[in-house]
Structure 1
């Protein structure tokens, strides 16, 4: 401590401190002492007065008054500059966004994103000639976020790569100038971002698409790039690709299978690059649903590589991603705030064993393509393949955009032509409407999709022991025969059909009891319909128990129009099974009925409407909704077997005896 401060401590006591405090502090200010010297004086005063140093420091700060707020001043300047240069708005999710003019074009960025922070820091440096303090940046962002949420231009949806507005499709090329392709029924054109009525998000891993350019021979060039051998596979891939450019969806899951060396990963990478080039285009199997949905937020197309199987949770998640679904989770560092991730995306999967083992819901959404091994003499270096792809990429993109324009133009006509539609009906109509621009014959995509459904249904039935038992049980049934069971009766009947009554070890996948069977049977309903068997459950209002009805459809059923003949050896009927329960022969694939349901069955799904309805009976008003068609039976017996009679009723073949256990 300097000697000039020593007189300040003479005769200083706690009693006279209130009188001499201003003298001491004023002397410190006049001396120009630095922070270290001031701290030494305050410590000496604290020892003399025998008080806490913290209290003395507080009095010193109170004497000096509020410190200069440089950071707050800088934040105010940054906010003022941002409000002059940026247009603030919000997304429907209450996320704050800004539209910036950069190098003559418009860009859209979230306020909490790196791009906007960098823009604001650069703007402040250009104005003030010094960097923006970290705390000042945070304060400025907080103010701007409030301005965007409460006083901005309004709420606008934010899209990733693809959007629809006013009957037109917009594709973000992810180029540095933020140019966009606008597609309408009359054609397509490239427009600047300032003319685009929708707003796109950008992610750091996105890569630009080329400017589309029409060129002769694009279709042949694409065929040369993809090792597809069958016309069916070609129709599926083209239908999937043009369907991926429908902003509304839904999207089939494209599955590439084949032995090693068939080029599955390369084809998946090519299709991803064709529509949505990104860094690391192929992804491993996600660890959970959250990882899958987060990936979908930043990609138009998801490509999962080298899957060894599809676990149940992933199958369900892919179904939601195909037709639309979301995930909610708690926001970090909060107790009640919720974050919702919602997406509908095209997906490509590839793997060697993926041709079988699909769950029923995923199989209905799957476009399966088999790739043959590329022989050594036909194999080419990837460098040559990608060089050829880059050369043709603008023309290939233009080809698909022509397909999108045709889909918008021909939608109504295609809808009228397709009287029978598969599960993904909107995609089927879109692909059919786009077919003329892609060199495909009318109905080629839908027919190919139906064939795949037949193959996957056959795979499901062939790999499921319960399905095999059902086929064996109904092998000798006559067309139109209907049997009704409780879950326990059906379980015992299937055990007998499969020869498992005395077996100590059941096949893998065999349910442990009647309750397990009841949970398993709904997975087989769709696949069984493909081979002419209808399985549905109903609740007996008198016995108050669930019963399962199994029917072998008639060969000619006006309510069940047939799909195109597939010619596939894997689309089969239950007739002709050997002792090993393996399918033989072929059959047509039935479609879902398109005629109105009979009276009394409105609201039931088609698989729960019996083909033979009792005639001449008046439905009872006391029957449960959806079962009025059974009211013609005065007292429906809890029978195991019902069979149509010539008079139009149902005749029980065996009653449950009194005292007999019913499960």
Structure 2
């Protein structure tokens, strides 16, 4: 009998695999990823990825305590065997990341500290749970702990750290509480937070020290935009909130990918260039983008965004980041508890809240309506602020699009009496209003009536947000287009 085997003929890898199966719950999540839930751990349960570093470390330690020393390749073999067991013999597990929804409809938030503390938020109540939770959460090796909520909370202590207008501050609180209260689910759509400001306005501080710290702390902080959208999807497996900084421009493929992230979807690609199989990766996560430039140029993406323009900060009013961070960190437990209390108050009145200013991200608008009720604000105050925010974001998009801006100016010229004509006639009317360097470019300007009609169909929503009346009529050689301004605009 070799030293690798015991008297039963089992190898050390087999012994460790059998021990883990006897002492842990194994299964897969909705994406067929294998997890292990360890018995005998303190506090609430945590699901460890079978292929993760933390689980590998636990496997090595368990083997050592039972007299087996595992090499790196042994650990890999153990993980592969357990992954197969989880897939074919294990249970189907509901694995949450940072935030989960209980069967009763309440929220559970994973603090992700060493004691596995959870916070349960239900309509009108917030409580800290040290053990006894039946919900499963996963963490990556970069996941960091949220602050333990203070006994008394006050979210308004965050406002002096927000370098933005009063309306935007309320909108910012609305976004944060919405993201914290809406776990990833196929029915959930996330507004994309866009942080814009000049150099020195505090974009990185806002994203890293406030949003990241109060929603989903992570050792990797904030990241540059990856080269491939599928890399973003992989990042979403390791963190609940995605924060991308210093964006200059977004190509169409990235605009499309971010739209997918907001409402949920799948990115596809070939596994290898030598085969025909498709590899898919799910992408659905709250996203924050920041930059100096106007990088939102697609109307479909703009309709999913909430833009926060940071105020220009005079040099004599700027403070050292270290000093700000020290002050903020001292207040984080109180601020975090205040945000949780606000979420509980919003949940309590959510069913009776009325949407007055509907937008594309209707679930978010409904949350703002409930927030107005919870804070006893006039009905529609925060909703109207969001509607204006959408209008400004759409206008920024239009100003970056030569055709859209030309149509907007043309519509304003026909405010009293709408213009009506064929696509060919409209193209002729618009072409004389822009310089040849624009009209000669196939990228910026339609070269035919058919191309014009297709482009106008994609611009309708953005132009409508500016009060433009644009009716395309039925397709065909007798198609008529109407351009003007809506009544009251």
Cα offset, 1:95, TM superposition = 2.3
Gaps of 5+ in 2: none
- Measure the CA separation in 2 of the matches of 1:306 and 1:134: 39
Say if 2:323 is the partner of 1:323: no
Deviation at 1:241, TM superposition (A): 0.7
Tell me the residue number matched to 1:119: 58
Structure 1 residue 164 corresponds to structure 2 residue 111: no
Structure 2 residue aligned with 1:488, among 415, 418, 424? 424
1:376/1:481 Cα in 2 relative to 1: closer, same or farther (>3 Å)? closer
SS of 2:331's partner is helix
Given candidates 370, 376, 392, the residue that maps to 1:433 is: 370
Instruction: Report if the CA contact (8 A) 2:168-2:308 is conserved.
Output: yes
CA offsets 1:106-134 (integer angstroms, 9 cap, x no match)? 33112222222221221122122x41355
Corresponding residue for residue 396 of structure 1: 335
How far, CA to CA, are the matches of 1:554 and 1:140 in structure 2?
Answer: 67
State which of 358, 363, 366 in structure 1 corresponds to 2:302: 363
Select which of 106, 119, 140 maps to 1:203: 140
1:150 maps to which of 74, 88, 97 = 88
Which position in structure 2 is the counterpart of 1:599? Answer: none
| Superposition deviation, residue 538 in structure 1 | 4.5
* Cα distance between partner residues in 2 of 1:526 and 1:254: 20
Aligned residues between the structures:
479
Report SS of the residue matched to 1:122: helix
- Pairwise CA distance, 1:404: 1.9
Tell me, in whole angstroms, the C-alpha distance in 2 between the residues paired with 1:478 and 1:168: 50
Residue 456 of structure 1 aligns with which residue?
393
CA distance in 1, matches of 2:273, 2:119: 40
Q: Distance in 1 between matches of 2:305 and 2:196?
A: 12
Q: CA deviation at 1:181?
A: 1.3
Q: Describe the shift of the 1:510–1:504 C-alpha distance in structure 2 as closer, same or farther (beyond 3 A).
A: closer
Q: Structure 1 residues 397 and 484 mapped into 2: Cα distance closer, same or farther (>3 Å)?
A: same
For the residues of structure 1 that align with 2:437 and 2:400, how far apart are their CA atoms? 22
Deviation at 1:242, TM superposition (A): 0.8
How much has 1:548 moved relative to structure 2? 5.1
Moved more, 84-93 or 437-446: 437-446
Equivalent of 1:547 in 445, 459, 479: 479
Q: Distance in 2 between matches of 1:403 and 1:460?
A: 33
> Conserved in 2, the CA contact under 8 Å of 1:72 and 1:139?
no
Map 1:294-305 → 2, pairs under 5 A: 294-305=234-245
Deviations 1:84-116 (A, max 9, x none): 211122212222221103542333112222222
CA contact (8 A) 1:183 1:189 kept: yes
Q: Per-residue displacement from partner, 1:448-486 (whole Å, max 9, x unpaired)?
A: 11111222233333443323432444445465746242x
Q: Which residue of 2 aligns with 1:421?
A: 358
Q: 2:132, 2:279 → 1: CA distance?
A: 32
Deviation at 1:203, TM superposition (A): 0.7
Larger radius of gyration: 1
Is contact 1:306–1:351 with CA below 8 Å preserved after alignment? yes
For residue 241 of structure 1, the aligned residue among 176, 179, 184 is 176
Give the Cα separation in 2 of the matches to 1:432 and 1:337.
Answer: 46
Match of 2:220 in 1: 280
**Aligned equivalents of 1:77 and 1:183: distance in 2?**
43
Change (3 A) 1:548 1:528: farther
Task: Say which SS state the counterpart of residue 297 (structure 1) adopts.
Answer: coil
Does residue 386 (structure 1) correspond to residue 322 (structure 2)? The answer is: no
Q: TM-score when scaled to structure 1? A: 0.66
Contact 1:399 1:437 in 2 (8 A): no
Larger displacement relative to structure 2 (180-189 or 336-345): 336-345
Q: Which of residues 207, 221, 234 in structure 1 aligns to 2:157?
A: 221
> Are the aligned partners of 2:411 and 2:485 in contact in 1 as well (CA < 8 Å)?
no
CA distance in 1, matches of 2:369, 2:14: 58
**Structure 2 Cα separation of the partners of residues 395 and 449 of structure 1:** 27
CA RMSD of aligned residues (A): 3.0
Taking a change above 3 Å as real, the CA distance of residues 232 and 186 of structure 1, as seen in their structure-2 partners, is closer
User: Hey, what does 1:183 align to over in structure 2?
Assistant: 121
CA–CA distance in structure 2, aligned partners of residues 83 and 499 of structure 1: 71
Tell which has more relative contact order, 1 or 2 (C-alpha 8 A, sep 6+): 2
- SS of the residue corresponding to residue 202 of structure 1 reads coil
Return the TM-score normalized by structure 2. Answer: 0.88
d(CA) in 2 for partners of 1:407, 1:321 = 25
